[in-house]
Amino acid sequence: MLIRINQDAHPIAPSEITPESLYRGRRNFIRAAGLGAAALAVSPAFAAAKLGAIQKSPLSSTEAPTALKSVISYNNFYEFGTGKEDPARNAGRFKTRPWTVRVDGLCAKPRTFAIDDLLKLAPLEERIYRMRCVEGWSMVIPWNGFPLASLLKQVEPLGSAKFVEFVTAADRATMPGLALPVLDWPYTEGLRIDEAMHPLTILALGLYGEELLAQNGAPLRLVVPWKYGFKGAKSLVSIRLTDKQPATAWNIAAPNEYGFYSNVNPEVDHPRWSQASERRIGEFTKRKTLPFNGYADHVARLYAGMDLRKFY
């Protein structure tokens, strides 16, 4: 069962965590053993390719990144099922190439980008970000990507563009979770334009120096580190500039639980989960959750004068 690396029960004991070197070694072994497309297809964890040159960023956290094994096996991606291990297990038929993302709406130069266009658009950076899920767990993930602003500038947003809407893939043939009526598919998300243009907001194409695996939102996903994880829409197909606040899939599903802003706020509990503390995957004692997930110095000013209990 060499290729089934996603079967561990969580929480993960430190002793169970596979160091990255071992993960790479195992993958190289599988390649060397000549296992073909069929073997790779059942385990998207082994389909990733190494990314090119990656620049370090002063916006990275200095905290220790969560073990790669946890990052790729403990996921929320309901299009592949609602269990934490479902995405890694069920994403094997999902195709991430060829892939295009449409960027349009209120802009002068709407355009469809292929993944290779995106890779030429801006230098890839490493952004080590704290990530916090509304369910009460957190990770530190070394994303590889570039500011969303670099992409938006290419299409020349009009002054009337006040929001950005994100729409993600919804392919019934390869995403078994779409058969479940949990969300109003496709998964959609939104940001205010100033949030979208903020330097912390990135599009990620990889993590740990390799292309994203399907379970993490390949081939590209949004990452907004001061907001709850569900803002980070995976496997994006469309980015649209609008003048109205976009509807979001979680807000449609449960408006009293998920607001448009979704800023990490230890003082505003989710109706079912306290947001005051969190469990960092790989650790046992809980940590206190920080306002804006620790990014207050960067982003608190975006919300000056707003009642963040009302705009949750």
Ligand X SMILES: Nc1nc2c(c(=O)[nH]1)N[C@H]1C(S)=C(S)[C@@H](COP(=O)(O)O)O[C@H]1N2
Buried b (16+ CB within 10 A) or exposed e, 296-311: eeebeeebeeeebeee
Return the number of the residue (76 or 144) whose C-beta is nearest Mo ion: 76
Asked whether position 187 contacts ligand X by CB under 6 A, the answer is: yes
* Candidate list 65, 147, 157, 229; residue touching Mo ion; CB under 5 A: 229
78 binds ligand X (CB under 6 A): yes
Does 76 sit near ligand X (CB under 6 A)? yes
Q: Rule CB under 6 A: is residue 168 a binding residue for ligand X? A: yes
Options 43, 75, 144, 289; binder of ligand X; rule CB under 6 A? 75
Contact between 90 and ligand X by CB under 6 A: the answer reads no
* Angstrom distance (rounded) from CA 48 to CA 46: 6
Binding to ligand X (CB under 6 A) within 109-148 occurs at 133
Interface residues for ligand X in 214-273 (CB under 6 A)? 216-217, 229-230, 232-235
Name which of residues 20 to 79 contact Mo ion (CB under 5 A).
76
CA distance 24 to 197: 35
Query: What is the smallest separation between the CB atom of 195 and Mo ion, expressed in angstroms?
Result: 18
Q: How many CA atoms lie within 13 A of 119 on its CB side?
A: 13
At 252, the amino acid letter reads I
Task: Work out whether 79 is an interface residue with ligand X (CB under 6 A).
Answer: yes
Please, which residue, 10 or 26, has the CB nearer to Mo ion?
A: 10
| Residue 65 touches which of ligand X, Mo ion, none (Cβ within 5-8 Å per kind) | none
Continuous segment of H or E residues that includes residue 298: helix 296-299
Residues 39-58 touching ligand X, rule: CB under 6 A, are none
Q: Which two tokens stand for residue 22?
A: 């071992």
Residues 139, 133: Cα–Cα separation, whole Å: 9
Buried b (16+ CB within 10 A) or exposed e, 157-192: beeebebbbbbbbbeeebbbbbeeeebebbbbbbbb
Contacts for 40 with CB less than 8 Å, ≥ 6 apart: 46, 47
216 binds, among Mo ion, ligand X, none (CB under 5 to 8 A by kind): ligand X
Sheet bearing 100-105, strands edge to edge: 111-114, 100-105, 236-242, 163-168, 188-192
Residue among 113 and 230 whose Cβ is closer to Mo ion: 230
The residue within the footprint of Mo ion, chosen from 48, 91, 124, 133 (CB under 5 A), is: 133
CB of 75 to ligand X, least distance (A): 3
CA distance 205 to 216: 10
> Would you tell me which residues interact with Mo ion (CB under 5 A)?
76, 133, 229-230
Question: Which positions touch ligand X (CB under 6 A)?
Answer: 75-79, 133, 168, 187, 216-217, 229-230, 232-235
